[in-house]
């Protein structure tokens, strides 16, 4: 996407490439993670916006890269000790597979959100070309504001699905949860 307001392009590099095919890590500790939830979609996101040097005196040319890595971790022993069952989704109200499906939906929400940056930048941009490095930093800061707001909303389950305290089958359907790594 080339934009006359000064943003050259936004590229998102997201892993896992296919959320339906993602795996998970089994934790065997007796105590759960901080916060006491038995499963998490852990994320590592970085944003880098920079002046390409290809602008002209009137406009900057800024490119941005968003690098995102996600993994699901389930504190297995902790979950089992608190009543979750290692049976297919639907055979019990609380299943390990249901935890996995819930966390997959968080990862899918993040993927949809981050790739939306490639399609539509939500804030009008303007640049005089006077200080393109500062302009790039301003874009990066604005992206981080949007990402932090989304992270807070996702943590509090404001993007449904998944609803707080609910379980879902894996995205590929019940019985398709992969073996842990």
At 55-105, the pLDDT tens digits run 666 677 788 999 999 999 999 999 999 999 999 898 998 999 999 999 999
Give residue limits of the domains in the chain. 7-155
CB 133: neighbour CB atoms within 10 A?
Answer: 12
Q: Are 83 and 29 in contact (CB under 8 A)?
A: no
**Res 121: pLDDT:** 58
Record the tokens describing residue 25, joined without a space: 């890590």
- Both tokens of 107, joined, read 């990862």
What are the tens digits of pLDDT across the range 4-39?
444 568 899 999 999 999 999 999 887 778 778 899
Mean pLDDT of 129-146: 84
Helix, strand, coil percent values for the chain (each to nearest 5): 30, 25, 45
Could you tell me the pLDDT band of residue 2, with boundaries at 50, 70 and 90?
very low
């Amino acid at each position: 996407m080339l934009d006359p307001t000064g943003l050259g392009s936004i590229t998102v590099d997201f892993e896992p490439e296919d959320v339906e095919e993602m795996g998970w890590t089994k934790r065997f500790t007796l105590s759960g993670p901080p916060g006491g939830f038995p499963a998490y979609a852990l994320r590592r996101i970085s944003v880098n916006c920079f002046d390409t040097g290809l602008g002209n005196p009137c406009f900057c040319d800024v490119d941005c890269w968003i690098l995102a890595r996600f993994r699901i971790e389930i504190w297995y022993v902790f979950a089992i000790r608190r009543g979750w069952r290692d049976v297919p989704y639907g055979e019990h109200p609380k299943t390990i597979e249901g935890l996995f499906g819930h966390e997959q939906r968080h990862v899918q929400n993040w993927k949809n959100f981050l790739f939306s940056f490639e399609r539509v930048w939500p804030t009008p941009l303007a640049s005089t070309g006077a200080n393109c490095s500062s302009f790039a930093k301003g874009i990066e800061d604005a992206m981080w504001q949007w990402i932090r707001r989304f992270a807070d909303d996702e943590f509090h389950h404001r993007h449904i699905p998944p609803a707080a305290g609910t379980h879902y089958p894996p995205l590929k359907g019940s019985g398709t949860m992969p073996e842990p790594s």
